[in-house]
A and B are shown apart, each in its own frame.
Chain A
């Protein structure tokens, strides 16, 4: 029979243990507060690395599979490092018919990044949004908290240039 090698999921459990515990305690270490705790942790770390989720699992006595189940269910949680800025191209109905798809192609061409991915220089994370409630401004693009109206491929280059 083949012997199976058992490797740790990921070694370093020491990562920011105290900081993680502090945030969990802010929410009384309660299972029903798991989503808020994860939210807060994502605010601190920018994303939710597996090492942090292991800490959450251990401290809260919730199976790791349940924690990652919650994280992978909600699209606003990310387990990958995020760029310094997030571009969200709106693909709601109005933006879609007014050329949102072309903007997506242009972003991909300019930044060389896949949907959901982050540029190599960590400058941008690229996502789509399903209607940001700015249909009158279609097609709309949101970068961090700023909304850009009636964007076309020509405007895009100068908009992106504003972000370091």
Chain B
């Protein structure tokens, strides 16, 4: 432990604690626009300067470790004055379109100005102009960028994708892809993690609210909406609820008030995914044991960011990916076929909107494989943040909405579907069904939870030994199924490298592109509280426990769908509507033209 004095108070901290951390623990606020706990500590914004006795200059609190006997002052006139000057310098190169900026009122730069009591801005009229870009998923307005480099940390250190870096020097500095390429030219996976940490309006999801409003206001269009599992425990944050509060019933009511004709639930398709993916897995393991075919481990395919990562970095191992479309694509596909036929509406006059915690889904819906007869399965993707903005714009008082249910036949779901939104959830949901199909017994764990794959460890693993299976699965007797779960592209890479080297010990792997899974997706409400992910996780498990049916194969609407339309899991019809294939891209998209 180390003793120091902060603002005349004696304080004891662990060795290697930075001044900013020490202050935080003792309730002293130090402003910063770049520092992110344990993630970003470049010390670029300099807003955190403090006075340290005997130091020649002011010190940046986020990169200076507390030393024994250090005397620190965080609130002297000198510090206040310096912070104001630094702030004015940041403003001098910032496109100040605050009133028409999407981050108005949620901008950290704006909020800091208020905190610092900024009353003047002396260095204007000398802005640099940098190349901006509207990609399919992410919009980069680089004239608003304050070069804090948080996005670089997320893209490189957390996700390991390495798309964004500082290019050029001095006033020409721009945070961008290599050589100022557009994101679409690179191996960007559109995970959108950069948009969740940008302190200003420089990195945003690409807007889809306008096309959705056009559709909603066109009487000739039949609008259908679906919401991903992770939305229901996060969107409440935008309306003042504590993180992780499930607001499922109000969410459906809000969508109805917005004017959508049908309110469906991606959860339904999650149950369907369990059946399709589980069946596919059993088929693969049977072929491996009885015919020696090597398509194991099978890897889940719900996360479009992860899929794109795999296509760029492991183009020769795409056969390990499950051929299942992601749940919302399955639902969109069914809406424009089975459901359109059922209600006798021309699918060409339908507009399907998915509300997703994800920016990569905006890219996913444009993939050629995701259309049938030139008709996109899904027409627009709104992020959680965008839907909240639409609800506010429509003047809907979310907190006073009544609870309601999603519409049938594509809105009912089991508890297994809710946990699709969190790392480990897809695997647990699949096992609840697969184990019971194989043995006719329930998954033998407390409350059906496989504790080893819960939580936020980078890579989690578990094994289950099958004993006394049904006669049809006798080849699985005494076989041990080994499974692994990873979230975040960087952790996924570890498991994929094992596959590439032929050393993977697993049969089934779940991967989600964002750290922690969809609850922490690139389209979710921004939060700097490190406990937010845990609270959203708990919210999803609460939803799971609330349901009377907690296993996908007990979803009667899913079973009816098979009887009426899909015939059997993995049938020819199921393949046509619910399965897909992947594209070899390569690190520099070099295989795209092959």
* A binding-site residues for B, Cβ under 8 Å: 1-11, 13, 50, 53-54, 57-58, 62-69, 72-73, 75, 79
Interface 9-mer from B323-331, B436-444, B583-591: B583-591
Give the CA-CA distance A3 to B374 in the complex, in Å. 12
Q: B181 touching A9 by the CB < 8 A rule?
A: yes
Which residue on A lies nearest to B381, using beta carbons? A1
Which residue on A lies nearest to B208, using beta carbons? A1
List of B residues within 8 angstroms of A1 by Cβ:
211, 365-366, 376, 379-380
Residue B136 interfacial (CB < 8 Å): yes
Identify B165's interface contact among A5, A13, A65, A75, CB under 8 A.
A65
Q: B212 CB to closest chain A CB, in angstroms?
A: 11
Give the CA-CA distance A128 to B135 in the complex, in Å. 37
Q: B588 touching A9 by the CB < 8 A rule?
A: yes
Residue B178 interfacial (CB < 8 Å): yes
Residue B163 interfacial (CB < 8 Å): yes
Excluding A6-B592, A8-B589, A79-B179, 5 further A-B contacts by CB distance (< 8 Å) are A10-B588, A13-B588, A65-B162, A73-B168, A75-B169
CB pairs A–B below 8 angstroms (17 shown): A4-B135, A4-B366, A6-B592, A7-B185, A8-B592, A9-B185, A9-B186, A63-B162, A64-B162, A64-B179, A65-B186, A66-B162, A68-B165, A69-B165, A69-B178, A73-B166, A75-B169
Q: A2 touching B179 by the CB < 8 A rule?
A: no
Q: A11 touching B178 by the CB < 8 A rule?
A: no
Instruction: Please report which residues of chain B, range 362-380, place their CB below 8 angstroms from some CB of chain A when the two chains form the complex.
Output: 363, 365-366, 368, 376, 379-380
Q: A62 CB to closest chain B CB, in angstroms?
A: 8
Give the CA-CA distance A66 to B153 in the complex, in Å. 12
Q: B589 touching A73 by the CB < 8 A rule?
A: no
Q: A4 touching B164 by the CB < 8 A rule?
A: no
Give the CA-CA distance A155 to B211 in the complex, in Å. 66
List of A residues within 8 angstroms of B186 by Cβ:
9, 64-65
Residue B57 interfacial (CB < 8 Å): no
List of A residues within 8 angstroms of B164 by Cβ:
65
Q: A63 touching B366 by the CB < 8 A rule?
A: no
Q: B177 CB to closest chain A CB, in angstroms?
A: 6
Give the CA-CA distance A62 to B379 in the complex, in Å. 37
Q: A11 touching B590 by the CB < 8 A rule?
A: yes
Q: A67 CB to closest chain B CB, in angstroms?
A: 7
Give the CA-CA distance A64 to B176 in the complex, in Å. 11
Residue B593 interfacial (CB < 8 Å): yes
* B binding-site residues for A, Cβ under 8 Å: 135-136, 156, 161-169, 176-179, 181, 184-186, 211, 363, 365-366, 368, 376, 379-380, 585, 587-590, 592-593
Give the CA-CA distance A14 to B549 in the complex, in Å. 57
Give the CA-CA distance A69 to B8 in the complex, in Å. 44
List of B residues within 8 angstroms of A7 by Cβ:
184-185, 589, 592
List of B residues within 8 angstroms of A4 by Cβ:
135-136, 184, 363, 366
Give the CA-CA distance A144 to B165 in the complex, in Å. 33
| Majority secondary structure, A binding face | loop
List of B residues within 8 angstroms of A72 by Cβ:
167-169, 179
Q: Which has the most chain B C-beta neighbours within 10 Å: A64, A65, A67? A: A65
Q: A69 touching B167 by the CB < 8 A rule?
A: yes
Q: A11 touching B593 by the CB < 8 A rule?
A: yes
List of B residues within 8 angstroms of A53 by Cβ:
178-179
Q: When A2-B366, A9-B186 are in contact, do A64 and B169 touch as well, CB less than 8 Å? A: no
Give the CA-CA distance A1 to B169 in the complex, in Å. 37
Q: A68 touching B178 by the CB < 8 A rule?
A: yes
Give the CA-CA distance A20 to B277 in the complex, in Å. 44
Give the CA-CA distance A142 to B366 in the complex, in Å. 55
List of A residues within 8 angstroms of B592 by Cβ:
6-8
Which residue on A lies nearest to B168, using beta carbons? A72
List of B residues within 8 angstroms of A62 by Cβ:
162
Give the CA-CA distance A64 to B169 in the complex, in Å. 17
Which residue on B lies nearest to A64, using beta carbons? B178
Shortest 6 CB-CB distances between A and B: which pairs?
A63-B162, A65-B165, A64-B178, A69-B165, A65-B178, A68-B178
Q: A69 touching B588 by the CB < 8 A rule?
A: no
Give the CA-CA distance A67 to B379 in the complex, in Å. 38
List of B residues within 8 angstroms of A75 by Cβ:
169
Identify B163's interface contact among A8, A50, A63, CB under 8 A.
A63
Q: B193 CB to closest chain A CB, in angstroms?
A: 15
Give the CA-CA distance A69 to B178 in the complex, in Å. 7
List of B residues within 8 angstroms of A50 by Cβ:
178-179
Q: A6 touching B185 by the CB < 8 A rule?
A: yes
Give the CA-CA distance A2 to B587 in the complex, in Å. 24
List of B residues within 8 angstroms of A68 by Cβ:
165, 167, 178-179
Q: A67 touching B211 by the CB < 8 A rule?
A: no
List of A residues within 8 angstroms of B380 by Cβ:
1
Q: B186 CB to closest chain A CB, in angstroms?
A: 7
Identify B588's interface contact among A8, A73, A79, CB under 8 A.
A8
Q: Which has the most chain B C-beta neighbours within 10 Å: A72, A73, A75? A: A72
Give the CA-CA distance A13 to B587 in the complex, in Å. 11
Q: Which has the most chain B C-beta neighbours within 10 Å: A8, A11, A54? A: A8
Q: A63 touching B211 by the CB < 8 A rule?
A: no
Q: A58 touching B587 by the CB < 8 A rule?
A: yes
Q: Which has the most chain A C-beta neighbours within 10 Å: B211, B365, B366, B379? A: B366
Give the CA-CA distance A58 to B587 in the complex, in Å. 8
Give the CA-CA distance A126 to B317 in the complex, in Å. 49
Q: B588 touching A64 by the CB < 8 A rule?
A: yes
Q: A9 touching B589 by the CB < 8 A rule?
A: yes
Q: A58 CB to closest chain B CB, in angstroms?
A: 6
List of B residues within 8 angstroms of A57 by Cβ:
178, 587
Q: A65 touching B593 by the CB < 8 A rule?
A: no
Give the CA-CA distance A79 to B168 in the complex, in Å. 12
Give the CA-CA distance A26 to B181 in the complex, in Å. 30
Which residue on A lies nearest to B591, using beta carbons? A8
List of A residues within 8 angstroms of B590 by Cβ:
8, 11, 13
Q: B179 CB to closest chain A CB, in angstroms?
A: 5
Give the CA-CA distance A65 to B177 in the complex, in Å. 5
List of A residues within 8 angstroms of B376 by Cβ:
1
Which residue on B lies nearest to A74, using beta carbons? B169
List of B residues within 8 angstroms of A13 by Cβ:
588, 590
List of A residues within 8 angstroms of B165 by Cβ:
63, 65-66, 68-69
Give the CA-CA distance A63 to B187 in the complex, in Å. 10
List of A residues within 8 angstroms of B211 by Cβ:
1
Give the CA-CA distance A50 to B180 in the complex, in Å. 12
Q: A57 CB to closest chain B CB, in angstroms?
A: 8
Give the CA-CA distance A9 to B312 in the complex, in Å. 13
List of B residues within 8 angstroms of A73 by Cβ:
166, 168-169
Q: B427 CB to closest chain A CB, in angstroms?
A: 29
Give the CA-CA distance A5 to B184 in the complex, in Å. 8
Which residue on A lies nearest to B585, using beta carbons? A6
Give the CA-CA distance A99 to B136 in the complex, in Å. 52
List of A residues within 8 angstroms of B593 by Cβ:
8, 11
List of B residues within 8 angstroms of A2 by Cβ:
136, 366
